Amino acid sequence: MKKILAIASLLAASSAAHSDELDNLLTASAAIVNQIDYGIQITGAAMEYAHTGTGLSDGSLSTGAHISTEQLDAYNDALTAMASYQPYGSVQNVLEEKAAAEIDLMNNAVDTFTEVVVDMVAVVQVHEDAENASTPEEHAEVQEFVTNNTEALQITQTEVDTYNQSVDDIETHANNAAAYTAVAANSDAVAFLQTGAENNNVNADNASLTYDANRQWVKMSWTGTNNASAVYLNGSNFNMSNLYVSEADVLLAGSETEFYLTSPTYLGYKCFVEQIGCDEG
């Protein structure tokens, strides 16, 4: 059975923000429209009252209709910014941002995993003592140690549940991040999904992005429709290969990481906990 390998160098938090060009244009234009509307009203009143000998203002109303330099600059800047506005959103940004979010979730799961492993680390000591005992006397020493410390050495069901869930979460979020990163790095796949947003008249920011390990695809479901666009990671519809690796490859890669080389199962209990005998590891 094959599992997707989390790409070693995943994108860090994306610096791209959701486009707000349209919001800025709306705000800036509304400000000037309000001034013009006010100006039209006082002008209409002036045209009516000027011939009647009544309806004199205090002489300051016109300044309330003035358009300020700040309002002018904000409007013209908003017009210029519209050149880069993306009404259908950016699939590239969505993929990169979602990958970064999955990495954050993976890191949170790693923190949980690390904490619970440390809580259960005594099992490493028990294993090592039992494995190294070769004489009846040493067997008796193991028995005495375990008997005298049973309560401290026990592992709870809560710890096991936390451990199991954290391992699942790590693999799931790592695979999601790797899948989104792989698609983001393929210009043809990005263009295909971007076309899907345009054809369905949906902003990509509002689409539902998922990775399915069984189907081996990254899918964007278009909000408000029953339509979706999928990119297969096995190379079925785009030139994407070497994304899936064997369990043996995953374990080999993991065994060479600093995370593993500084772990209690690699260093041994005494080195990890007491910093004793580390040179022998």
Q: What kind and span of H or E run contains 210?
A: strand 208-212
pLDDT value for 83: 80
Instruction: Give yes or no for a contact between 272 and 263, defined as CB atoms under 8 angstroms apart.
Output: yes
* DSSP reduced 3-state for 53: coil
Report how far residue 71's alpha carbon sits from residue 55's, in angstroms, rounded to the nearest whole number: 30
Distances (CA, A) of 20 to 5, 17, 31, 47, 253: 36, 8, 17, 41, 42
pLDDT value for 280: 53
Residues 156-185, buried b or exposed e (16+ Cβ, 10 A)?
A: eeeeeebbeebeebbbbbbbbbbbbbbbbe
Measured from the Cβ of residue 22, the count of other Cβ atoms closer than 10 Å reads 14
Q: What kind and span of H or E run contains 246?
A: strand 244-246
Measured from the Cβ of residue 9, the count of other Cβ atoms closer than 10 Å reads 6
What does the DSSP 8-state code read for residue 274? I
Residue 100 CA, distance from chain mean position: 3
Residues 79-105, buried b or exposed e (16+ Cβ, 10 A)?
A: eebeeeebebbbbbbbbbbbbbbbbeb
Measured from the Cβ of residue 119, the count of other Cβ atoms closer than 10 Å reads 14
* DSSP reduced 3-state for 108: helix
pLDDT value for 6: 36
Tens-binned pLDDT, residue by residue, of the chain (281 aa): 333 333 333 333 233 334 588 889 899 999 999 999 999 999 999 988 888 888 888 889 899 999 999 999 999 888 888 787 788 889 999 999 999 999 999 999 999 999 999 999 999 998 989 999 999 999 999 899 999 999 999 999 999 999 999 999 999 999 999 999 999 999 999 999 999 999 999 999 999 999 999 999 999 999 999 999 999 998 888 888 779 999 999 999 999 999 999 999 999 999 999 998 887 54
Q: What is the CB-side half-sphere exposure of residue 39 using CA atoms within 13 A?
A: 10
Closest CA to 34 of 65, 59, 57: 65
Q: Which residues contact 24 (CB under 8 A, 6 or more apart)?
A: 74, 77, 78, 81
pLDDT value for 241: 76
Report how far residue 218's alpha carbon sits from residue 102's, in angstroms, rounded to the nearest whole number: 14
Distances (CA, A) of 63 to 40, 70, 192: 13, 15, 53
Radius of gyration of the chain (CA): 32
Read off the pTM.
0.76
